[in-house]
Amino acid sequence: MPSAFRTFSIEALRVVRRQPLAHKLVHATAKLIEKTPLGRRYIRSVLEPDTIDTSDYGAWIARHDRLSPEDRRDIAAHIARMVDPPLISVVMPVYAVSPRLLEEAVESVQKQLYPNWELCIADDASPGDGVWRTLTRLAKADPRLKIVRRRVNGHICAATNSALELASGAFVALMDHDDILPARALYEIAALLQAHPDADLIYSDEDKIDGTGRRYEPHFKTDWNAELILAQNMISHLGVYRRSLIQQLGGLREGFEGSQDYDLALRVSELTTPDRIHHIPWVLYHWRQDGGPQTFSQGFMDRCADAAQRAVSEHLERTGQVGVTVQGQPTSPGWLEVRRTTPAPRPLVSVIVPTRDRAKLLAQCARGVLEETDYGPLEFIVIDNDSVEPETAALFERLAQDPRVRILPAPGPFNFSALNNLAVAEARGEVLLLLNNDISVIAPHWLDAMIAHAIRPNVGAVGARLLFPNGRLQHAGVAIGVGGVAGHLAYNLPGDTGGYYNHLTTTRNMSAVTAACLAMRKSVYEEVGGFDAEQLKVAFNDVDLCLKVRRAGYDIVWTAQAELYHHESASRGEDLAPAAKARFDAEVAVMRARWGETLTSDPFYGPLFDRYRSDYALASPHHRVHPWKKAQLR
């Protein structure tokens, strides 16, 4: 798809979505277009999230995703040293696939550098004898192939379960009948199991491959992300499961066709713990597109979407997450949105706002919280750091007439950490909401959305989606390591884009969020010691706080459902005064000394992304150390 035409289509769709009648007509036309392979590809290119340019990705593959003869020798040597290498059962349901594509899929397994595998195939009563004859011939030539022919077509769940009955490996890798495994795929799985033998679920990155063999639309995923998986099947391909857990669950559930692996991943996650779920940050699966007959998910999109919604809803119910609803994201077909409600009665929230004058900004912030926000009960605590302007004094006098407002004097040099620590000590609320004075409200439900997460026992801190007044993004979560210590993801990108795989509009776990708008339980704040007022007075105190929260075992959540404007930072610019620069450099040194290797890798912004950019651009060279290289270091 030419990038210029795709860009034009995306921009046109943004305009059309604001016109209900035009949008309805375009939607009806799209339904007709998607019936053809080329039409489906076009629709997908426009509706799916921003992707890495195909030509850029092709160049990156040429530089970084080619195994040299030396790599292959090192991999073979690593395999030879493995202790008790596991048998991996590749499970493949087959139905009415082109013999050529089936042979290519099987051949990709046979060419694996890791030898300890078996391929278990169930023919789901394909019409005629062509598929079965091909399977019989292939199995006769290779004893590692196990095949069974179902008498009745049962669709992908039943067929996968039939193939699972043939499996004897401790681990099962799910594969479709026309897709391709790169030669290193199963080796990477085995290498991870050498390092983490207790792993229960392993998944890799993936991309798509067309009929000419061209690879495109790579999906470089986050590590296990309990929030993101509620919106999309982030496990997908290549997914590898401990077979005993699949057996314990009774296999794949019929009735979830099209989202059967999504349902399986959610159910398996309930039987294990996050530390036993592992992500391999490399493309180990090529998902074929437009090369053969329609898959179930292509031909029955509505049924697949319904199955995904039921899978997530039942997962939430089984895990005791009440007061939630699951619906499709209105602007992103195939993506889900979980909305949570606050309990009754709602907890008291202490909104904490440090300020030094800037009365106009503070008045706007206070009006948004006290008059334009639906949430209650709350208290509004202003920490006054030596304000001197008459306008500020007049504002304080007006605000103090509201019984929800308290003005706390905090004289002395500006110390963001100390100011907030002082206010937290005085706060009466169960939940704290740290807020900059240059924040203004867009919609009244924002605080409900944040508190609904903040009160969850596993959640330590919650961040919001912040926009500059011009509509561009100011904050969509913080990535560790970006820019040296940490940086805002998607900084200054258009606010009406979903971003890379819809990350900019989807609630997800992050390593950190900004304290410009941050909610957390007071008990968690006190447990981790609050802000560091001695060594991180101005910069990185929120990143440090979030890293302490994660170290204590809590999740950090960024939610797109709380959206506000962040005003002043759009024009404030960088402070290059010598004293400020010296202080900033000292705080950078503190972070590097304190967090060390943590700052070199972010589980939610992986090693293949450029650490000097925040827009999901690929790094070249990348930061991943391949397992055969790690093995040489031991």
**Torsion angle in degrees (nearest 10) through CA of 470, 475, 476, 482:** 120
Contact 489, 556 (CB under 8 A): no
pLDDT tens track for 206-215: 999 998 899 9
Residue 594 to residue 575: CA distance in whole angstroms? 24
Contact 384, 410 (CB under 8 A): yes
pLDDT tens track for 512-563: 999 999 999 999 999 999 999 999 999 999 999 999 999 999 999 999 999 9
Query: How does strand 459-467 pair with strand 473-475?
Result: antiparallel
* For residue 35, pLDDT beyond 60: no
What pLDDT shows up at residue 232? 94
Does an H or E element contain 209, and which?
Answer: strand 201-209
Quote the pTM value. 0.89
DSSP-derived 3-state class of residue 582:
helix
pLDDT tens track for 443-492: 999 999 999 999 999 999 999 999 999 999 999 999 999 988 999 999 99
CB-based contacts of 56, cutoff 8 Å, min separation 6: 618
pLDDT tens track for 618-633: 999 999 999 999 888 7
DSSP-derived 3-state class of residue 122:
strand
What pLDDT shows up at residue 1? 46
Contact 195, 112 (CB under 8 A): no
DSSP-derived 3-state class of residue 597:
helix
Q: What mean pLDDT is reported for the chain?
A: 90
Confidence of residue 334 (pLDDT cuts 50, 70, 90): confident
Confidence of residue 366 (pLDDT cuts 50, 70, 90): very high
Q: Is 130 exposed, middle or buried (0-12, 13-18, 19+ CB in 10 A)?
A: middle
